Amino acid sequence: MNIIIRTYLQQNLYEQARNFMVKTQFPENVSNNQYARYLYYQGRIKAVQLEYSEAQASLIHCLRKAPEVGAVGFRIHAQKLLIIVELLMGEIPNRQVFN
């Protein structure tokens, strides 16, 4: 599922990606890494569709599920998107986030 959603997002087909996510159920027995990636894609789609509170919730959950060791690039991209969503919501991110 993550590969299909990633392909949609690479081609800027956000509406089709959202429809795919709505019509399918993410499997329950997957690794935390795959689930974190799914939550990142969900947050990215919600952010583009101006649903900032849902995007923020997905991205925060994504960062909690992401591995602490390794996957530094993924955590950086998720954190950047979370900061942008929080700024668009009118919130000021915590100063520690920027370190």
**CA 31 to chain CA mean position, Å:** 16
Q: What is the pLDDT of residues 26-75, one digit of tens each?
A: 888 898 899 999 999 999 999 999 999 999 999 999 999 988 888 889 99
* In the chain, domain spans: 2-98
Q: How far apart are CA 1 and CA 21, in angstroms?
A: 9
- Residue 90 token pair: 């009118």
Q: How far apart are CA 84 and CA 80, in angstroms?
A: 6
Q: Check residue 70 and give its pLDDT.
A: 82
Q: How far apart are CA 76 and CA 1, in angstroms?
A: 22
- Residue 58 token pair: 């997905």
Q: Check residue 98 and give its pLDDT.
A: 75
Task: Band the pLDDT of 95: cuts 50, 70, 90.
Answer: confident
Phi, psi values for residue 54, rounded to 5°: -70, -35
